[in-house]
Structure 1
Amino acid sequence: MVELLLIALSVLAFALVSGRLAMTPVTAPMVFTTIGLVVGVGGLGWFDLELEGEAVSILVEATLVLVLFTDAIRIDLRVMRRQATLPGRMLGIGMPLTILAGTGVALLVVPELGIAEAALLAAVLAPTDAALGQAVVSDRRLPVRIRQALNVESGLNDGIAVPVVTVLLAVTVAEEVGGASDWLELAARQVGFGVLVGLALGALGGRLLDHRASAGAVEGVYRQLATIAIAVSAFALAGVLDGNGFIAAFTAGLAFGQVARRQCHGVQDFTEDEGELLGAVTFLIFGAAVVGPVLGDLSWQIAGYVVASLTVVRMVPVFLSLTGSGTLIETRLFFGWFGPRGLASILFALLVAEGLETEGGELVFTIAAWTVLVSVFAHGMTASPWAGRLGRRLAAETEAMTEIGPAEELPTRRRLAP
Structure 2
Amino acid sequence: MSAMDLVILAAGTLFYAVFSKRLNDGLVTLPMAFALFGFLVGADGFDLVAFDTGHGSIHLLAELTLALVLFSDAARLDVKELLNGKILALRMLLVGLPLAVLIGGVLALLLFPDAPPTAAFLLAAMLAPTDAALGQAVLTNKDVPLETREVMTAESGLNDGLALPAVVMFAILASASDGPGSSGPAMAQFAVMQIVLGPLSGIIVAYLGGHLIDWAVRSGTVAKALEGVAMLALALLAYALAESIGGNGFLAAFSAGITLGCTVKHRCGALIDFMEEEGQILTAFTFLLFGATLLPDGLAVMGWGTVLYALASLFVVRVVAIMLSFMGSKVDYPGRLFMGWFGPRGLASILFALMIFETYDVPFHAELQACVMLTVAFSIVLHGLSATPLSRLYGRYMGGDC
TM range (shorter): over 0.9
1:194 corresponds to: 198
- CA displacement at 1:47 relative to structure 2: 2.4
SS in 2 for 1:217: coil
Report the equivalent of 2:173: 171
1:98 corresponding residue in structure 2: 100
Q: Give the whole-Å Cα distance in 1 for the aligned partners of 2:157 and 2:303.
A: 33
Equivalent in 286, 290, 295 of residue 294 of structure 2: 290
Identity %: 39
Shift of 1:310: 0.6
1:396 deviates by 6.2
Matches of residues 357-376 of structure 1 in structure 2 within 5 Å? 357=361, 360-376=364-380
Q: How does 1:326-365 map to 2 (within 5 A)?
A: 326-357=330-361, 360-365=364-369
Any residues of structure 2 matched to 1:51-66 within 5 Å, and which? Answer: 51-66=53-68
2:386 corresponds in structure 1 to 382
Residue 306, structure 1, aligned to residue 322, structure 2: no
For the residues of structure 2 that align with 1:22 and 1:301, how far apart are their CA atoms?
33
Over the aligned positions, Cα root-mean-square deviation in angstroms equals 1.4
The residue correspondences of 1:13-412 to structure 2 (distance < 5 A) are: 13-178=15-180, 179-181=182-184, 182-357=186-361, 360-395=364-399
Where in structure 1 do 4 or more consecutive aligned residues deviate above 4 Å? none
In structure 2, the partner of 1:5 is 7
**Once the 2 structures are TM-superposed, how far is the Cα of residue 184 of structure 1 from its aligned partner?**
2.2
Shift of 1:359: 5.1
Separation of aligned partners in 2, 1:347 and 1:386: 28
Q: Tell me if the contact between 2:145 and 2:400 (Cα under 8 Å) persists in the aligned partners.
A: no
Bigger drift between 210-219 and 351-360 goes to 351-360
3-state DSSP of counterpart to 2:203: helix
Between the aligned partners of 1:357 and 1:173, the Cα distance in structure 2 is 5
Q: How far is 1:180 from its partner? A: 4.6
Task: Flag structure 1 segments of 5+ consecutive residues without an equivalent.
Answer: 398-403, 405-418
Letter in 2 for 1:380: G
Contact 1:42 1:295 in 2 (8 A): no
Return closer, same or farther for 1:358/1:68 CA change in 2, 3 Å cut-off: closer
User: Residue by residue, what CA displacement relative to the aligned partner does 1:37-80 show, whole Å, maximum 9, x if unpaired?
Assistant: 11112111122212221122112111101100100111011221
Give the letter for the 1:280 counterpart: A
Q: Deviations over 1:131-168 (max 9, x none)?
A: 21322100011111111111111100111111111111
By how many angstroms is 1:357 displaced?
A: 4.2
Q: State the distance in 2 between where 1:73 and 1:252 align.
A: 8
* AA partner of residue 29 (structure 1): P
Distance in 2 of aligned mates of 1:288 and 1:3: 13
- Alpha-carbon distance in 2 for matches of 1:78, 1:277: 31
Partner of 1:411: none
Q: Give 2:231's aligned amino acid.
A: T
